Amino acid sequence: MTALMLTVLATSIPLLLAATGELVAERSGVLNLGVEGMMLIGAVAALSAVLATGNPYSGIIAGAAAGAVTAMLFAFFAVTLLTNQVATGLALTIFATGFSGLVGAPLIGKTGLALPIIELPVISSIPVVGDLLFKQDLLFYLAFVLLGLVAFMLFRTRWGMILRAVGDEHNSAHALGYNVALVRWLAVGFGGMMAGLAGAYLPLVLTPHWSEGMTAGRGWIALALVVFASWMPGRLLIGALIFGGITILQLTGQARGWMVPPQFLSMLPYIATIGALVLISIRSREGSFISVPACLGKPFQRNS
């Protein structure tokens, strides 16, 4: 049972990282559908750095930097040039999928170094809980720390108030003297960095090699997870564990030879995603617990 729970946690971490970054971007009013592409760029950059340096920690830096740079490309078009955010995000994913496949072609068949396990003194010896939470890699701990910092920043700091103001009413925020474009650039950049870390987690922890399209739709699930959490950081963790558990369920079913078509089991994470979005859509019409940023997806023009 402990091994199964560890696997669920490991599968949930990339979803949590990517969704945390996308939540910040969407709270600023920017809808970036390029999460899947940024994760792929982060994954290939991380493994390339590890193979070049022999240091697994260099993969964390490379993945985060690659994701942030890719996000800046999106921000240039969507925030500065005011292109359609949905179309730009989709184009980014298509571009990143092809580009990562091209760059990653020489890496096929090569194995990188996994991140070492960090055991926290004393508390790591607690039965079950110690094995689950306190004998993990650096990115595991970082995911929870960053989620907590984002939650604190959004609702307990002036920066968070400005970010939410830009996402809820960018014209009013501009009238008060806030630089809407700068806030959105920073939010998108942070989202890209987090997506890059999520992508880096795959070759650094889950599977220490490169394969084209290795994110396997996790970026799209992360996007749905933000909606599932109704743009509230505290709910992201619950959603990530649920979707991570469903992903492991289909793998467990295939391994144990359940009398269910393997194609159906592979569909489970995406069926759950669609189901969650439908449920949230129903609840939003009833006015329940939904806090979607009012300016989400809307370009800002100074003269508007």
* pTM (two decimals): 0.92
Alpha carbons 196 and 38: distance in angstroms, whole number: 6
Length of the chain counted residue by residue: 304
List pLDDT tens digits, range 102-126: 999 999 989 989 999 999 988 988 8
Question: For residue 8, what are its two tokens?
Answer: 């669920």
Mean of pLDDT over the chain: 90
Domain boundary assignment for the chain: 2-285
Alpha carbons 175 and 258: distance in angstroms, whole number: 60
Residues of the chain with pLDDT under 70: 1, 250-251, 253-258, 262, 265, 276-277, 279-290, 303-304
Question: For residue 172, what are its two tokens?
Answer: 């009013």
Alpha carbons 283 and 292: distance in angstroms, whole number: 12
CATH fold of 2-285: ABC transporter involved in vitamin B12 uptake, BtuC (1.10.3470)
